[in-house]
Amino acid sequence: MFRLEPRGSAPLIWQVATPVLAVLATMIVGGGLFAAMGFDPLAAIRTIFWDPLFGPASGYSRPQLLVKAGPLILIACGLALGFRAGIWNIGAEGQYIIGAICGAAVALAAYPLDAFWIFPAMILAGAAGGWAWGMVPALLKNWFGASEILVSLMLVYVAQRVAAWMAFGPMKNPEGFNFPGSRNLQQYDAAANPELIANSGLHWGGVAAVLALAATWFVMSRHVLGFHIRTAGAAPRAARFAGVRPERLVALCLGVSGALAGLAGLFEVAGPAGQITESFGSGYGFTAIIVAFLGRLHPLGILLAGLLMALTYIGGELAQMMLNLPAATVQVFQGMLLFFLLGFDILTRYRIRRRA
């Protein structure tokens, strides 16, 4: 018989090793799942992790790595601040959608004007929209003690209905032959978010992700706010004695994470997505939770985890096209990653001892 014995402190080696073990376990169990469904497990794993980088279609898929990783990293940076403080924003997907709607609204209101200020105004509107949506659970938590987990999650479904209403109503393209959806912002030069370097996949969303990583590192490592965030997450009562006001911290963390998610939505709707549709929202807000935890809530880890999850997105799409793998199976595969990460994370806080 064995028992779990609490560790005095989390060893660095286990903090680094558990994400690696989680990835390996996901490959093994995921391969078993593919085999049970009648697919070649080795071919499926190779298609997901190898072909996007070195396969026959890598010339197209490699640039997509930055396209997919940008919003994941941007959202995960905001979530990491809150998670470090014990503030759980599970509704980044809703903030992502609302930010995209607000940013697109600025562009559509200015259409067909060609002015330099339109795209910067869209950026501000996207951040403001995400911030406002994130402040709803913050205010309800501060005023009424509501759970930010439930409120932020429920607001995702409200945001999805708002996007559908916009696609069928106020934002519907009058020249779209009665199809739902807004104008394509990629065709509106003043509002478009094109590649900054040809065939690289890098657009302004990727630049914003790098800036967010740098800002997160500075705040958490070199600013007193990072000390307050870490203290509030580790010892809430001690944080009060250190002068931390929980209400302000809740508003700050949920507001910042909402603003970054809104920015990610804006860069997506002005770039790869191009328009507001009834199904706008690709699950980046939920996947970013995996990215944040897989990256250990650290900027460098978030960068690597964002690239890894982007790889699974692209590889999953290739597996669907080349192997006819169901889309839901790829989502299960991504969910396994978080499951095993949380499972192996026990080893950072506990050691296994044989029971006498």
> What is the H or E stretch that residue 4 is in?
strand 2-6
Q: Which residues contact 342 (CB under 8 A, 6 or more apart)?
A: 293
More confident position, 323 or 134: 134
> What is the H or E stretch that residue 48 is in?
helix 41-49
**The two structure tokens encoding residue 218:** 């500075």
CA atoms within 13 A on the CB side of 233: 17
Number of neighbours of residue 86 by Cβ within 10 angstroms: 16
Number of neighbours of residue 98 by Cβ within 10 angstroms: 28
Which of 129-138, 261-270, 310-319 is predicted least confidently? 310-319
**The two structure tokens encoding residue 101:** 């709607």
Task: Characterize the bridge pairing of strands 350-354 and 2-6.
Answer: antiparallel
pLDDT computed for residue 94 by the predictor: 96
Bridge partners, 351 (sequence order)? 5
Model confidence at 19: pLDDT above 90: no
CA angle centred on 91, ends 345 and 147, rounded to 5°: 80
**The two structure tokens encoding residue 326:** 């169901």
pLDDT digits (tens, 9 = 90+) for 337-349: 888 888 888 777 7
pLDDT computed for residue 12 by the predictor: 75
Bridge partners, 42 (sequence order)? none
Q: What are phi and psi of 353, to 5 degrees?
A: -120, 145
Model confidence at 242: pLDDT above 80: no
The pLDDT confidence band at residue 102, using thresholds 50, 70 and 90, is: very high
Whether 299 contacts 77, CB under 8 Å: yes
Read off the pLDDT of each residue in 57-62 and give the average, rounded to a whole number.
Answer: 83
pLDDT digits (tens, 9 = 90+) for 25-53: 999 999 999 899 888 999 999 999 999 98
More confident position, 281 or 76: 76
pLDDT computed for residue 99 by the predictor: 97
- Pick the most confident of 27-31, 181-185, 211-215, 281-285: 211-215
**The two structure tokens encoding residue 85:** 């403080």
Cα torsion 26, 32, 38, 41 to 10°: value is 60
Q: Which residues contact 202 (CB under 8 A, 6 or more apart)?
A: 66, 195, 196
The pLDDT confidence band at residue 272, using thresholds 50, 70 and 90, is: very high
Q: What is the mean pLDDT of the chain?
A: 90
Which residue is it, tokens 């708002």? 162
**The two structure tokens encoding residue 49:** 């992790």
C-alpha span between 166 and 173 (Å, rounded): 10
The pLDDT confidence band at residue 80, using thresholds 50, 70 and 90, is: very high
Whether 21 contacts 27, CB under 8 Å: no
Whether 78 contacts 72, CB under 8 Å: no
Model confidence at 8: pLDDT above 80: no
C-alpha span between 12 and 17 (Å, rounded): 8
Model confidence at 263: pLDDT above 90: yes
- Pick the most confident of 56-65, 269-278, 336-345: 269-278
pTM of the model: 0.92
pLDDT computed for residue 86 by the predictor: 92
Model confidence at 139: pLDDT above 90: yes
pLDDT computed for residue 347 by the predictor: 76
pLDDT computed for residue 18 by the predictor: 84
C-alpha span between 31 and 47 (Å, rounded): 12
Exposed / middle / buried, residue 158 (Cβ in 10 Å: 0-12, 13-18, 19+): middle
The pLDDT confidence band at residue 326, using thresholds 50, 70 and 90, is: confident
